[in-house]
């Protein structure tokens, strides 16, 4: 039986309905992103991970979020254009989501439950928090905004 995590509906940045289960992946790296954040240059590292490991089964998924310091003010078209033009992002992007509070996207609610933050915190502290999902959802690891994408390479390799 498929893990329910893979059945949660998500909306791509161009408005198509999908789920994590629609991606042919051995591991997924889910990241809440923003275009005007001090961590925005991590898009480059995320794209590098995508390019390096996609042939082995990694899928990087970016979920823009405007919940922290109004650092993702644009609409979906502006976000997609910014990411491609400035960082060459080719990995899948999604429509803007909320990651905390009562209106948090169900995907992030579930990820926070499965992989709490420091000292068991359920909330996401800032943009570019990363969740590595592997082993068909049985393993979910959380990495802070300060974790550079390239620092996740060994964990990704172990998941593939």
Q: Tell me how far apart the alpha carbons of residues 133 and 81 are, in angstroms, rounded to a whole number.
A: 27
3-state secondary structure of 105: coil
Active site residue 65: no
3-state secondary structure of 33: strand
One of 10, 37, 65, 83 is an active-site residue; which one?
Answer: 37
Host H or E run for residue 156: helix 153-159
Q: What letter would DSSP give residue 102?
A: T
Alpha helices (H) along 19-152 = 42-53, 76-87, 106-114
- Enumerate the active-site residues: 37
């Amino acid at each position: 039986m498929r893990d329910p995590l893979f059945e949660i509906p998500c909306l791509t940045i161009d408005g198509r309905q999908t789920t994590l289960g629609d991606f042919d992946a051995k591991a997924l790296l889910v990241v809440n992103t923003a275009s005007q954040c001090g961590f925005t240059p991590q898009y480059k590292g995320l794209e590098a991970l995508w390019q390096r490991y996609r042939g082995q089964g990694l899928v990087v998924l970016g979920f823009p979020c405007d919940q922290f310091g109004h650092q993702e003010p644009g609409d979906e078209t502006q976000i997609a254009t910014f990411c491609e033009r400035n960082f060459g992002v080719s990995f899948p992007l999604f429509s803007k989501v909320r990651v905390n509070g009562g209106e948090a996207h169900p995907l992030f609610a579930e990820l926070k439950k499965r992989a709490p933050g420091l000292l068991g915190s359920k909330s996401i502290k800032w943009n570019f928090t990363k969740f590595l999902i592997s082993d068909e959802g049985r393993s979910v690891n959380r990495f802070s905004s300060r974790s550079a994408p390239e620092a996740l390479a060994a964990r990704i390799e172990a998941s593939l």
